[in-house]
Amino acid sequence: EDLSWKNLMDAYTCTECGRCTAACPANQTGKLLSPRKIMMDTRDRAEEVGRNRRTGAAADGKSLLHDYITPEELRACTTCNACVQECPVSISPLDIIIQLRRYLVMDEASAPQEWNQMFANIEQNMAPWKFPPEDRGNWAE
């Protein structure tokens, strides 16, 4: 329910042609990511939430993340923008992927160990590397 109206409109606008998934390098290498599936799952969840609201049903306890889209799918994305480039109707599955990843990291504190090290380096050194700012130019010597 935290996705923007633009994200939801993109999900409804998707023509399900599959060009995004065909162009996705993560999908081509056998990873779980399918940008088309992300769009379809987002639309399906929006439909379900709308149906529950119209009928006055209690919250069903489901969420787009985990129940429809897995963290493994999201983490497989390289954010290369190929899915956006290939879309014939100019929608962006990448926006939804980034929003869901942001939720995983910021709200659920769920990130791979490699990411946690990078986050710590950024916090301490203002860069993803272990080197302090004053030592960054040492390689040139």
Please check the confidence at residue 28 and state whether its pLDDT lies above 80: yes
* Token couple for 113: 């160990």
Question: 65 pairs with which residues across the strands?
Answer: 69
Strand, helix or coil for residue 69: strand
Please write the tens of the pLDDT for every residue from 29-68.
Answer: 999 999 999 999 999 999 999 999 899 888 888 999 999 9
Return the number of other C-beta atoms located less than 10 Å from residue 39's C-beta: 26
**What is the structure's pLDDT at 140?**
76
Residue 74 has what pLDDT? Answer: 95
Read off the pLDDT of residues 92-132 as tens digits, 9 standing for 90 and up. 999 999 999 999 999 998 988 888 888 889 998 888 888 88
